[in-house]
Amino acid sequence: MAEGQEVQFIEVSESQQGQRIDNFLRTRLKGAPKSLIYRIVRKGEVRVNKKRIKADYRVQAGDVVRVPPLRLAPESAVKEASESLRNLLAGSVVIEGPDWLVINKPSGLAVHGGSGVKIGLIEALRQVREDLDFLELVHRLDRDTSGCLLLAKNRESLLSLNTALRERRMEKGYLALVQGRWPARRDYVSARLERYDAGNGERRVRVDDNGKVSRTRFAVRETFPKVTLIEAEPVTGRTHQIRVHAAHAGHALLGDDKYGSAEGARIARSLRLDRLFLHALTLTFPDPRTGRPVQARAPLEPGLEKVLERARHGG
């Protein structure tokens, strides 16, 4: 696959101002691996206003960026989003403002490509929303988790929303279906979490006294004969936090192939659940311009609603 057979001259818009040159190029050159971008910058093949720059240079509005002709090997190129994926994402926007958008991320779709994933949500959404010069993830969701995912449309909003996330001024509410009856009195789990290598390059998380402080609030939403629908609010934002904390409490999430149990897998099969039952239902964040709270809500997909109906009737 070829990506630019001629020299390109790209003028930086106001919405793109402040980005590092490597990130600016990564957004504009769909499919170009980071190693290639660093190499052409280091060799001086990328020029800004006819001058050589370093990889940490931040572009300014009005800059003219010279990009050399690039040829990408097929294995390096980002896949074109299929028509079905384009339509799915185009119809998944929950709420949108001038500086941000919230999408109802489908389960099974990684938020970004890499590690064998040729295309993720961010790469596909950039293809769908060609009207936007800038589109970046504010936070992430696990590949198998669905629901509210926030993206920024310009650098200023990205920095503002990242600050809100870091300062815990962003509230996330999840729905999860767990094995067994969750005790109504158990309203939080506080257990330190540590990441470790599970083999084959896979990273997992476990409860460990030497891990990072982690806390999740839980509340029972509905109790069924064999399972419980719970609300979960992560106070901290560790990898796989809700999944590991729930398993640590003795109530693993259904459909969890990393931290679930054999009994949970059996119940999931009886309910015809074929994915992880973890959904980011709500997201509240301060608007970068006004500071006013924005509330987003992503409905459960019909398949999960059907699972709940089966659970109500005892599976």
Model confidence pLDDT, tens digit, residues 243-265: 999 999 999 999 999 999 999 99
- Which residues are CB-neighbours of 155 under 8 A, at least 6 positions away? 15, 16, 17, 18, 19, 134
pLDDT at 34: 76
Q: Which of 76-80, 153-157, 236-240 is predicted least confidently?
A: 76-80
Record the tokens describing residue 174, joined without a space: 């999840």
Does a structural domain hold residue 76? no
pLDDT of 1 above 60: no
CA-wise closest residue to 101 among 72, 127, 132? 132
pLDDT at 197: 85
Residues 195 and 109 in one domain: no
Measured between alpha carbons, how far is 199 from 220 in angstroms, rounded to an integer? 35
Does a structural domain hold residue 72? no
Residue 4 banded pLDDT, cuts 50, 70, 90: very low
The number of domains in the chain is 3
Does a structural domain hold residue 71? no
Does a structural domain hold residue 27? yes
pLDDT at 184: 85
Residues 148 and 224 in one domain: no
Residue 2 banded pLDDT, cuts 50, 70, 90: very low
Q: pLDDT over 90 for what percent of the chain?
A: 68
Residue 241 parent element (H or E) = helix 241-248
Model confidence pLDDT, tens digit, residues 223-232: 998 999 999 9
Residues 145 and 34 in one domain: no
Record the tokens describing residue 109, joined without a space: 């779709």
Residue 315 banded pLDDT, cuts 50, 70, 90: low
pLDDT at 259: 95
Does a structural domain hold residue 70? no
Residue 33 banded pLDDT, cuts 50, 70, 90: confident
Residues 305 and 234 in one domain: yes
Residue 160 banded pLDDT, cuts 50, 70, 90: very high
Model confidence pLDDT, tens digit, residues 123-154: 899 889 988 888 999 999 999 999 999 999 99
pLDDT of 274 above 60: yes
Q: What is the CATH number of the domain that holds 44?
A: 3.10.290.10
Residues 210 and 297 in one domain: yes
Does a structural domain hold residue 116? yes
Per DSSP, the three-state class of 102 is strand
pLDDT at 75: 47
Q: How many CA atoms lie within 13 A of 3 on its CB side?
A: 21
pLDDT of 97 above 80: yes
Does a structural domain hold residue 1? no
Residues 152 and 176 in one domain: no
pLDDT at 190: 94
User: Residue 234: beta bridge partners?
Assistant: 216
Burial class (CB in 10 A: 0-12, 13-18, 19+), 12: buried
Tell which of 164, 193, 209 closes a domain. 164
Tell me how long the chain is: 315
Q: Are the C-beta atoms of residues 153 and 126 closer than 8 Å to each other?
A: no
Q: Are the C-beta atoms of residues 270 and 276 closer than 8 Å to each other?
A: no
Does a structural domain hold residue 127? yes
Q: What is the pTM of this model?
A: 0.78
Residues 157 and 172 in one domain: no
pLDDT at 77: 52
Q: Which residues are known catalytic residues? A: 142
Residues 15 and 134 in one domain: no
Residues 202 and 295 in one domain: yes
CA-wise closest residue to 136 among 20, 278, 293? 20
Which has more pLDDT, 116 or 129? 129
Q: What is the CATH number of the domain that holds 97?
A: 3.30.2350.10
* Mean pLDDT score across all residues of the chain: 89
Residues 38 and 88 in one domain: no
Residues 141 and 180 in one domain: no
Residues 133 and 179 in one domain: no
Model confidence pLDDT, tens digit, residues 65-93: 999 887 665 444 556 788 899 999 999 99
Q: Give the range of the structural domain holding residue 55, as residue numbers without chain letter.
A: 6-65
